[in-house]
Amino acid sequence: MDSVAPLKLSLLLFLASISLVLVPFTQATTVKYCDKKGDYPVKVGGVKISPNPVVPGKQATFNISASTGKVIDGGKVVIEVSFLRVPVHTEKHDLSEEISCPIAVGNFVLSHTQTLPVFTPHGPYTLKMKIEDDKNQLLTCISFDFKIGSGSLEVF
């Protein structure tokens, strides 16, 4: 009995260290709704970040796949980037800059590109995105985590 516990512990540590090594290679990004129920007119299916991790000084693309139940004539996109939970950057765009409007009923991809300054610190970031229609009605609000790094192995 006594010898089993340490063995289990070292196995756990071994598995934990493997998952730490694998994390930087996983591409799937979890998208969370700001309101946990996700009761928004626009549903978000996922986000594709390229390159991942984002490289400072190089253009990054955030492709958000979503679907809408009604035609969206236009509106705006509000983006807030946080570093270690502290908001560091906010920007507002016309919706038509990121996707051609009007958006028809069904699936669509909103493509947001931005270039982060070369001196942007490496680490874990959160991007929060709000989409409003032309009458300032909230269509959706999501957030997801992304990393800024040199593209080499980074744990943070």
- Residue 2 CB, shortest distance to ligand NAG, in Å, is 53
Half-sphere exposure of 42 (CA within 13 A, CB side): 28
**Token output for 52:** 């991942």
Q: Which of residues 23-82 bind ligand NAG (CB under 6 A)?
A: 48, 50, 61, 63
Q: Which of residues 86-125 bind ligand NAG (CB under 6 A)?
A: 109, 111
* Residue closer to ligand NAG (CB basis): 81 or 99: 99
- Residue 39 CB, shortest distance to ligand NAG, in Å, is 27
* Residue closer to ligand NAG (CB basis): 100 or 136: 100
- Residue 45 CB, shortest distance to ligand NAG, in Å, is 13
The alpha carbons of the chain give a radius of gyration, in whole angstroms, of 19
How many residues form the binding site for ligand NAG (CB under 6 A)?
6
- Residue 13 CB, shortest distance to ligand NAG, in Å, is 36
Query: Residue 130: what are its φ and ψ, rounded to 5°?
Result: -115, 135
* Residue closer to ligand NAG (CB basis): 11 or 109: 109
* 51 three-state secondary structure: coil
Q: What are the DSSP calls for 86-152, one per residue?
A: EEEEEEEEEHHHHS-SSBPSEEEEEEEEEE--TTPPPEEEEEEEEEEETT--EEEEEEEEEEES-SS
Residues at the interface with ligand NAG (CB under 6 A): 48, 50, 61, 63, 109, 111
